[in-house]
Amino acid sequence: MMPWLEPLRWLVDAGGPVLVVIAIVAMLLFSVGLERWWFFRFHYRPARTALIQRWIARHDHTSWTAMTLREVWVQELIRGLRGPLPWLKLLVVICPLLGLLGTVTGMITVFDSLSLAAVNQARAMADGVARATLPTLTGMAVSVVGLLFITRLEHIIRREDQRLHDRLARAVEDAHA
C-alpha cells in the first residue's frame, strides 16, 4: 500500500466508512469556501467597480426608473455572492446526520460483535463505542466550522449590499461636485 494512503486507511479503521463520507462532505464544504473567496476577490470586486462606473455614466440618477434599475443591478450582483449559500447550508446540515448514521451503524456493529464473542466483552464494548462516537464528533466539528463560515459569508453579503448602495449614492454626489 502507498504510504500516503495510510492515514486514510487508519481513518476508515477508526471510524468506519461513514467517516470517509463526512471527510468528502467536509472537502466539498471547504472547496466551496475557497471558491467563494476566489469569486469575491477576482470576480465580484471588478464587477462592483464596473457597476459603479456604469451607474456614474448614466445621465439620469434620480427618477423612479433609474432607482429601480440601480436596485436591479445591485441585486443581480449580490445574487452572485448568495448563489452557493443554500448548498453550503445543506452540507452543514448533512454533517451531523452523517455522524449520527456512523454512530448507529457503529453501535450495531458493536452489539453484533458482542453477541458473537462472549469473552472480553467490556474491552470490545469500549472499543466499539469509541469507534461509533468518532463519526458523531467529526460530523459535529465539520458542521460547526461550516456554520461559522456561513455566518461570516452572510455577514459579508449584508455588508457588501449596504456598501454598494452607499458607494453608488456617493459616486453620483462626487461626479456632480
Could you state, in order of their start, the residue ranges of all structural domains in the chain? 17-176
Q: What is the pLDDT of residues 5-56, one digit of tens each?
A: 887 788 777 778 888 899 999 999 999 989 998 999 999 999 999 999 999 9
Phi and psi based region of residue 117 (left: phi greater than 0; alpha: psi -120 to 50; beta: remaining):
beta
Task: Report phi then psi at 103, rounded to 5.
Answer: -65, -45
In the prediction, which pLDDT does 1 show? Answer: 63
Q: What is the pLDDT of residues 61-78, one digit of tens each?
A: 888 999 999 999 999 999
Q: What is the pLDDT of residues 118-152, one digit of tens each?
A: 666 666 677 778 778 889 999 999 999 999 999 99
pTM of the predicted structure, to 2 decimals: 0.81
Which of 135, 127, 125, 126 has the alpha carbon at shortest distance from 104? 135
